[in-house]
Every structure is written in C-alpha cells, then in structure tokens.
C-alpha cells in the first residue's frame, strides 16, 4: 500500500511541475453579445458576418475576438546540495534516517489467551463487607 501511494504522489507531483511550465492561449469569437467559437489550439472560427472595408466605415463592427494568454512558469529553481552547510546536511541525514525507520514493518505475533480463566478469589468480599446490590 505504501508503494502504491508513493507512486501516485510522485506521479501527481511530476504532472504538477510539467503543467505549471506550460503556456497556452484561449481565443474566443463573439458576434454581438453571443459567444460563437472558443479555440484552445489555434484561431477561433469567425461567424461569417465579417463586413468588407466599405461597410466597416459605415457601421461599427459587430464581431470581436478576445485572446486570453495564460503564461507558464519560465524559471524553475534548482537547488544544489553543495550550497548546504554541514549543519543542514547533518539535519537532513538525521531526518531521513528517522523518517525511514518509521516504515519498517516488525513481524510480531500477538498471543491472545482465549482459554484464560481469572484467578481464584480466596475471600468473598461482598459477604465480608456486607455490601450487596439490591
């Protein structure tokens, strides 16, 4: 179970790093107030209501294009172990060893005594102290 969860976590973190570095654009084409086309990989298709040059001077253009650009992370931080001083290396080593020892499986057999009888009571304390539940 531990190996499966470790593999899932490492795969998810790898995809997180991969997708955080991607950049992409979303293009939207509107005709008036209505969304006609959305494109994630290329230009959005127009609605065939584009006006020619003479009509543009007479009337306002009813169609518009919106482009949303989502920038990915360009610079990734690379840490080197050479930048760590001796105390930090010593702490990381101790932390790793103690964390690793938490997951060592110890094979111990628990003995449950099914036929265990309670010890004999030499005196009857209820009669001795005369305390009875009624």
Q: What is the pLDDT of residues 101-122, one digit of tens each?
A: 887 777 777 777 767 777 787 8
Contacts of residue 17, defined as CB under 8 A and 6 or more positions apart, other chains included, come to 76
- Please give the structure tokens belonging to residue 125: 């304390």
- 105: in domain: no
For the chain, the domain total comes to 1
Domain span at residue 30 reads 25-67
Residues 33-71: tens digit of each pLDDT: 888 888 888 787 777 665 554 444 444 567 888 888 888
Assess contact for 25 and 18: CB atoms under 8 A: no
- 53: in domain: yes
- 30: in domain: yes
- 128: in domain: no
Gap between the Cα atoms of 8 and 18, Å rounded: 15
pTM of the model: 0.39
């Amino acid at each position: 179970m531990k190996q499966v969860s470790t593999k899932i976590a490492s795969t998810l973190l790898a995809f997180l790093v991969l997708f955080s570095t991607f950049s992409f654009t979303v293009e939207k084409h509107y005709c008036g107030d209505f969304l006609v086309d959305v494109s994630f990989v290329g230009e959005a298709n127009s609605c065939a209501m584009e006006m020619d040059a003479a009509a543009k001077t007479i009337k306002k253009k009813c169609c518009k294009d919106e482009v949303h650009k989502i920038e990915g992370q360009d610079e990734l931080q690379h840490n080197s172990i050479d930048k760590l001083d001796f105390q930090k290396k010593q702490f990381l080593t101790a932390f790793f060893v103690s964390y690793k020892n938490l997951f060592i499986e110890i094979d111990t057999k628990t003995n449950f005594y099914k036929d265990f009888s309670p010890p004999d009571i030499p005196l009857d304390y209820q009669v001795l102290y005369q305390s009875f539940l009624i």
